[in-house]
Amino acid sequence: MSTEDRQMFPATCADCKKETQVPFKPAEGRPVYCKECLPKHRPARRF
């Protein structure tokens, strides 16, 4: 499945309040972040 075939859902970023599209149906009560804000909320990778 390519990204063009993926169903996208509208959402509002919990940090910057920007309207965005996500590839999953946002759950009530769970924050959704745009591409710019998401890295701030991911744990640091350890190698």
How does pLDDT run along the chain (47 residues), one tens digit per residue?
Answer: 555 688 999 999 999 999 999 999 999 999 999 999 999 998 888 87
CA 32 to chain centre: 5
DSSP string computed for 1-47: --TTTS--EEEE-TTT--EEEESSPPPTTS----TTTGGGGSPPP--
pLDDT of residue 4: 67
pLDDT of residue 29: 94
pLDDT of residue 2: 59
Euclidean distance between CA atoms 33 and 35, whole angstroms = 7
On whether the CB atoms of residues 7 and 1 are closer than 8 A, the answer is: no
Range of the domain at 35: 9-41
Residue 33 lies in a domain: yes
pLDDT of residue 32: 97
Query: For the chain, what is the domain count?
Result: 1
pLDDT of residue 17: 97
Residue 27 lies in a domain: yes
